[in-house]
């Protein structure tokens, strides 16, 4: 399983239910990395999508705690155990570990990061107001920075792409 996140210089990922920055290059990269795959996210993240609708071109699995009406083109699970059962079934249908992509929000990242071996990070150079955070991978002995790109700039926002990998257990 992999995760994809956009965060600021202090690992902030959002404020008041919104992304900190919308960078079109990053949104194109996100689409390319998730197209045709299984995206896993929480109910609050679904609310942030255009029209509150699931992402097209992907199998959407929403991890939620509360019961509510189901949206078309989404599968819902109520626990990590239920999610893992569903992913095992999808593996039998030909999906691989890298086809399962965790895309947010903060609570879902915390719950599923132990199952991930790779994290694709878009890091903004600045720190912004944030009320939710991604775990600081630089401070974790479980993770190492495998690669990072040069700083890019779009509409005054500086950002770069980074890939973290979990250390192999000996």
Q: Is the pLDDT of residue 145 over 60?
A: yes
Domain positions in the chain: 2-166
Q: Which residue has the tokens 């770069």?
A: 160
pTM value is 0.93
DSSP letter for 64, please.
-
CA distance readout (Å), 68 to 62, 93, 104:
12, 28, 19
**Calpha distance 46→32 (Å, rounded):** 19
pLDDT, tens digit, 9 for 90 and up, residues 1-54: 999 999 999 999 999 988 889 899 999 999 999 999 999 999 889 888 888 889
pLDDT, tens digit, 9 for 90 and up, residues 113-126: 999 999 999 999 99
Distance of CA 113 to the CA centre of its chain: 10
Q: Per CATH, the architecture of 2-166 is what?
A: 3-Layer(aba) Sandwich (3.40)
pLDDT, tens digit, 9 for 90 and up, residues 40-70: 999 889 888 888 889 999 999 999 876 666 6
CA distance readout (Å), 168 to 70, 99, 118, 134:
39, 20, 11, 21
């Amino acid at each position: 399983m992999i995760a994809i996140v956009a965060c600021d210089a202090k690992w902030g990922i959002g404020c008041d239910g919104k992304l900190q920055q919308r960078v079109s290059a990053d949104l194109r990269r996100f689409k390319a990395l998730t197209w045709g795959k299984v995206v896993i996210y929480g109910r609050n993240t679904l609310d942030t999508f255009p029209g509150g609708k699931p992402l097209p071109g992907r199998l959407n699995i929403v991890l939620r705690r509360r019961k509510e009406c189901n949206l078309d083109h989404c599968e819902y699970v109520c626990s990590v155990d239920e999610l893992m059962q569903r992913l095992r079934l999808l593996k039998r249908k030909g999906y691989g570990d890298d086809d399962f992509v965790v895309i947010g929000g903060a609570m879902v990242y915390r719950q599923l990061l132990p199952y991930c071996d790779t994290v694709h990070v878009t890091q903004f150079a600045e720190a912004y107001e944030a009320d939710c955070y991604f775990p600081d991978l630089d401070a974790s002995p479980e993770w190492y920075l495998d690669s990072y790109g040069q700083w890019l700039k779009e509409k005054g926002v500086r950002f770069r792409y980074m890939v973290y990998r979990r250390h192999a257990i000996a």
